[in-house]
Structure 1
């Protein structure tokens, strides 16, 4: 995800489908199949090679089709793939595809569309923040580093509707990757036609999934998913339109829900408490990690004691219980709780890892470390700005951080900059910030989806933190230990322990999203990891 994905400061869409688990068999033809959903963030791009945002991946997942589509509980179900043959200890794949499926412009979807898409994403000229997910596919790492040509990637079209894929080593979660939008096909003719404008508007893209994205001008706050009549399985698609509207204020969303302008409404913690007896209220934890990234290009944040002091000055329970109050939890981890379990003992990943003392609220020790760190750096007038998105929850959390850090760290001056989401993404990517509220949502159900991003040089490593031992452990988990489940698990546990002890990031909480939502919406597939929503079979009762 959830991905990279995935950098909005509030959970927006990620909580919505939690309310939509009900299924039914009623005939949907008698009811108009359209509704409007709220989201708190604008789209930034629909170029799957360049997208990083959770909400965008939901759009990509419903307007496009890969070799696999993830069903309930992240179970891979065949999309365009009809047969998969695996040999050479899981390092060689031959995948046969459906014949004569179409793009929305009438072009045929072929194996070459996958080859082109994958090569484009790993090409360093594309500057994809998700190119690292292709690591393990033959030559992907060398291509991403500019040492080999993109056409040497281990994917070939061995027929109009057949792909051959070669891996450097077995990837235990490879089928899950094939169901993630970054691995979907792209139409080279359309990419070439629009150039830098590709994916910047809904009409500068073609679609091969259940829906087409329409009515998005590239900067607007509304857009629509319209049923795609060229989709190979269009008979299974019941909804005519799913409309989206950006609503950044929770009270506004609730008012529009109550007046039936919206099908659902995200709630603040206080709203959820007041509506606790409402039968249409639901809240569940998400496969997420919300954290502070300290720009370690700055002299102040290169100092470990300074990073530890900032962490110890934050009362995380205060954030989850008082500031948010929405069911979010403190898990003392970067990897989310409930994502994966030990292959031998069945224990959750967060139970196997060790949270350092710096993860506990200790303002007295924070003051001591802060003063020691300032002396070591020679900085006498410490100050920084916390960058975040202009959403209700995002602003509330950052204002709390501003207050508690100034209170517990003598002499520190903190300001807050709340700006539109797409601008936050751009400034994080360019490292044009001092401190930023960031998050990561799991792209698939494995701890590596979190841990990969803090290897040296990863585009999503926005702190620019690095540790050689950490990198070696992650490499081992992806290569030499890939076929040794227990050793691989141990590698990842040790890696997270290093990340947290060195305060490479400052984890804050794992999100939960309370919503009110109409019970008339049926057959929504929701997964907490990767692209959250699959609306293919959704209908209104």
Structure 2
């Protein structure tokens, strides 16, 4: 990335109980000692696991598994506050640029090796090394020399992280980052075991057996493509006394009907709900509505379809979509029509306290107006010298994705000369196609890892690793650069630049926002201590237990 303060942080809310002395936590007292004899949790997932390699992870599920099987310098408590984890002590310089850590001694990897400062150094260097091709490498931009290393102008060994002996670690930043401790709680900044990475090479993280773990659980039973796996309590984990579950069984159920049937048969303790299920079950004591800071959008690939370079055509396609009909009549799960690309719950104006989504709202970018859409399309056809668009929508093969794509197909085909086909592929295959810009139109989702608008807006910078649709805007880049550099320490001015950037993205229809995703679910009432984070990696299972 061009700017140095592009860090959008992984605010993974984790529950850190006790002080790591190996004794039972207060959970047993609160539960009155009434633990179920069998401490196993059965959890459903809507898609398959993509990777167990923290440098390669890009999706929420992969980070969720990494968060529960690995650990870093910090974990966030139930309030989202960073608490020391593998770091025993931390000291920050007055200028905020230097962090010195003293690590816990005696912490082990699941292969029996010690977790040391060198593991952090190796991990961070590996992520920023261009050879690793990490899409998330830019999150380390604030670390000294990271930008130059990512650009292949310096050696990874020059990264601003140093091991001072076995248990002391120093990190140097290019400037003060107020939220850096929260960043350190996100799996991308965890250590990796060099012995294991070098042993397995390209196979590392592609199956459970090609990795080792230092977190609460160990990943087992995942062969890289299968639809079930198990997290088993890590007997070598330094804080195992505060881990109560013996196993977490995760099962992929692309259909919420299948998930609900498993729940009814007591083969699952949790299941996501969609559509009519939400209406029928919202009064159930097991019903839980989640509204994460996650959005769905429609990306138009200008690299594949030259007509998408025309703003009038992009605007026409957006205006043809009735988002309220999509959320109310198709999804029916509590999802909300988008007011812009950045969702609700991602931040408020430091002065007025107004929600960012309301403040940066551009009506025409997300409204439904078929008459206006046809006028824009007519202009676009004339400007591009065409009279028809034969297009394909790429999406995943889950129920919700299919329903959304079919709805979009029907709405877009109401435009003159527009013909839409739909291609549904497995989730992991879809991610690969999106990364390689191998699509014409695709439904993309984005889940924040930190509650700040920059976490959304920075993916639209011209040289962003996630910007593969071909939309670029120099003024947009400038606004983000000013927000994250010129006015980084002036909250009000920084906020103003971010609002203007969102407005520009909307007015130019760089993408087509659809909805903010709800994640309604049934969660069995005897499953206690599940901590949910709406603005980051969602589920912490460290101290979860099954009550009688």
Flag whether TM exceeds 0.5 (same fold): yes
When normalised by structure 2's length, the TM-score is: 0.93
Say if 2:91 is the partner of 1:58.
no
Q: Partner of 1:212: helix, strand, or coil?
A: strand
**Residue in 2 that maps onto 1:326:** 333
When normalised by structure 1's length, the TM-score is: 0.94
Q: Partner of 1:479: helix, strand, or coil?
A: helix
Say if 2:530 is the partner of 1:524.
yes
Say if 2:400 is the partner of 1:375.
no
Among 132, 139, 148, the alignment partner of 1:133 is 139
CA distance in 1 between counterparts of 2:542 and 2:11 reads 22
Distance 1:268 1:359, change over 3 A: same
Structure 1 residue 30: deviation in Å?
Answer: 4.5
Q: Partner of 1:223: helix, strand, or coil?
A: strand
| Larger relative contact order (CA 8 Å, sep ≥ 6) | 1
CA distance in 1 between counterparts of 2:94 and 2:283 reads 56
Among 257, 261, 286, the alignment partner of 1:255 is 261
Q: Partner of 1:492: helix, strand, or coil?
A: helix
Number of aligned residue pairs: 524
Among 363, 366, 371, the alignment partner of 2:373 is 366
Deviations 1:485-536 (A, max 9, x none): 1111112111111111111111101011111110101112211122111111
Say if 2:345 is the partner of 1:338.
yes
CA distance in 1 between counterparts of 2:499 and 2:95 reads 25
Say if 2:261 is the partner of 1:219.
no
> How do residues 201-212 of structure 1 correspond to structure 2 at under 5 angstroms?
201-212=207-218
Among 500, 521, 528, the alignment partner of 1:515 is 521
**Residue in 2 that maps onto 1:282:** 288
Among 320, 324, 349, the alignment partner of 1:317 is 324
**Residue in 2 that maps onto 1:121:** 127
Question: 8 Å contact 1:169–1:482 — kept in the other structure?
Answer: no
**Residue in 1 that maps onto 2:44:** 38
Structure 1 residue 351: deviation in Å?
Answer: 2.1
Question: 8 Å contact 1:356–1:501 — kept in the other structure?
Answer: no
Structure 1 residue 356: deviation in Å?
Answer: 4.4
Say if 2:396 is the partner of 1:392.
no
Distance 1:28 1:449, change over 3 A: farther
Question: 8 Å contact 1:136–1:478 — kept in the other structure?
Answer: no
**Residue in 2 that maps onto 1:20:** none
Structure 1 residue 73: deviation in Å?
Answer: 3.2
Deviations 1:68-97 (A, max 9, x none): 112223221211112221124211111221
Deviations 1:258-316 (A, max 9, x none): 11011122111211111232111121311111101111212011111111111111111
Question: 8 Å contact 2:10–2:182 — kept in the other structure?
Answer: no
Structure 1 residue 325: deviation in Å?
Answer: 1.0
Moved more, 25-34 or 227-236: 25-34
CA distance in 2 between counterparts of 1:416 and 1:306 reads 20
CA distance in 1 between counterparts of 2:502 and 2:175 reads 23
Q: Partner of 1:291: helix, strand, or coil?
A: strand
Q: Partner of 2:437: helix, strand, or coil?
A: coil
Q: Partner of 1:387: helix, strand, or coil?
A: strand
> How do residues 97-176 of structure 1 correspond to structure 2 at under 5 angstroms?
97-176=103-182
Question: 8 Å contact 1:140–1:154 — kept in the other structure?
Answer: yes
Moved more, 477-486 or 124-133: 477-486
**Residue in 2 that maps onto 1:48:** 54
Measured on the aligned residues, the alpha-carbon RMSD in Å equals: 1.8
CA distance in 1 between counterparts of 2:226 and 2:317 reads 37
CA distance in 1 between counterparts of 2:8 and 2:515 reads 16
Structure 1 residue 61: deviation in Å?
Answer: 0.2
CA distance in 1 between counterparts of 2:61 and 2:120 reads 23
Question: 8 Å contact 1:137–1:168 — kept in the other structure?
Answer: yes
**Residue in 2 that maps onto 1:458:** 464
Distance 1:5 1:355, change over 3 A: farther
CA distance in 2 between counterparts of 1:252 and 1:331 reads 29
Q: Partner of 1:105: helix, strand, or coil?
A: coil
Say if 2:332 is the partner of 1:350.
no
